[in-house]
Structure formats: C-alpha cells, structure tokens
Amino acid sequence: MATELPPNGTPTSGGQAPMRDDLYTVLGLEPRASSEQVERAYRFCLELYGEAAIATYSLLEPAEAEEQRARVREAYQVLSDEQKRQAYDSAQGFLPPDSPVLPFPSPALAPGAPELPETLTGAELRKIREARGVSLRHIASVTKIGMRFLEYLEEDRFAFLPAPVYLRGFLQEYARLVGIDPRRTADAYMSRLAPHS
C-alpha cells in the first residue's frame, strides 16, 4: 500500500514505524532526492513534529512526537552526509541520487522562497529552478506541458510560445512546481511581453 501513495502521504499506523521503513520514507522523500530536497524535507518534518506544531499536536502524544523527531534527525544525519548516504544507499540497494528528481512537497510560496523581481527573464527563471533542484523533465511530466515549450520559455523564444492566456497558465504551473509565487512569476515574465501584444 505504501508504495502506491505519494511519499509525503505514506501511511503509517499511529506513532509506529511506516510500512516502507527506510530513512527516505521518514523524511517523505524518494530515494533519488537531491541534497537540497533532503534539506527541505528535514526542515519540513521538524516543523511537522515540532513541539509547537499545530498540525500534529492533537494527533500524537508528546512522546510520540518526540519519537518522530528522533527518527527525522536520525534520517537526516545519514542522508545529509554524502559518504554516509552512499554507504546507506548501496547497503539498501537504492540508486544513487541523480536526475530526474522528484521535488519534496515544495509549497507554492515555500518558506525560504526567493523574493521575485518585477521582471524575470527565462534565464533567471532557469537559475531559480535549478537552485531549487527541480528538473524540467519533472515539470513536463507533472504538468503535461511539452518539454519543448518549457525550453522555449527559459530561452525567451517568444515567437514559439503560445498565446498569452496559455502562457500565463504555463508560467503558473512552472512556478508552482518550482515553489515560487505563481502569479508574480507570471506577471514578472509577461511584463516583458506587454508592449508587443
């Protein structure tokens, strides 16, 4: 059952061990997560089980929450250390981390999301995307936006891009998966188109 659910939705029973009981699952990650995703997942899980966390305090006893925090810290200590992680991966038979990557539940407006400037070029968008560890292929597979359009978007090849109404939708989807403000992203990118349209 665990394998067919999204990693962050892996069911466990009570405060007990998850069904797929590995360090990645503890952080809600796929085994090929990037180091950036490990960081984000760690921060997310610490908040999820923190003493002040209002999302879990009524579900877990204080001792259970502490147990979860301990598991999260233990998982992070291994997965955030390149050598320890390699040893763990090969012992468990996991593939080494490389693309395509699956981003950790990156909230639209993720904590730590960059402030966006008034205008954004395709190249700037690509920079933000890469810094946040999200591959174009992943965006394409989730949004069903063609890879080619995503590339045109980052290359500012306006002539090949669809009508503004669709372009805005593409940009918002793109931003959502990268974890930056969808509306502002679309506005900032499209502000450069305005004079021509």
Partner 1 sequence: MALSVSEVLPGLGTATTRRQIWSIGGGKGGIGKSLLAASIGWQLARMGRRVVLVDADLGGANLHTCLGLPAPARTLGDFIQRRVESIEEVLTDTQAPGLRVISGAADLLSAANIKHLQKLRVMNQVRALDVDVVLIDLGAGTSYNILDFFLLSDVSILAIVPEPTSIENGYRFIKSALYRRLRAIAPTDDVRALLDSALDPKNPQGIRTPAELIGRVESEDAEAGRTLRREIAAFQPRFVVNEVRDTADVAIGHQLVAACGRHLGLRASYAGFVHHDDAVWRAVRKRRLFMSDAPTSRAAEEIRQLTRGLVKGESLGHGY
For the CB of residue 101, give the shortest distance to partner 1 in the complex, in Å.
12
Q: Which of 165, 158, 160 is nearest to 146 (CA)?
A: 160
Q: Which residue has the tokens 């990118």?
A: 189
Which tokens in the block code for residue 158?
């306006």
DSSP state of 12: B
Nearer to partner 1, 84 or 111 (CB): 111
Nearer to partner 1, 18 or 162 (CB): 18
Nearer to partner 1, 6 or 146 (CB): 6
3-class state of residue 57 by DSSP: coil
| Contacting positions for partner 1 (CB under 8 A) | 1, 5-15, 18, 28, 44, 47-48, 53-60, 102-111, 113, 138-139, 142-143, 176-177, 179, 182-183
For the CB of residue 178, give the shortest distance to partner 1 in the complex, in Å.
11
Nearer to partner 1, 91 or 194 (CB): 194
For the CB of residue 83, give the shortest distance to partner 1 in the complex, in Å.
29
For the CB of residue 87, give the shortest distance to partner 1 in the complex, in Å.
27
Which tokens in the block code for residue 63?
């001792």
CA distances for 114 relative to 87, 111, 123, 127, 181, angstroms: 34, 9, 16, 12, 9
Q: Which of 124, 133, 94, 136 is nearest to 185 (CA)?
A: 124
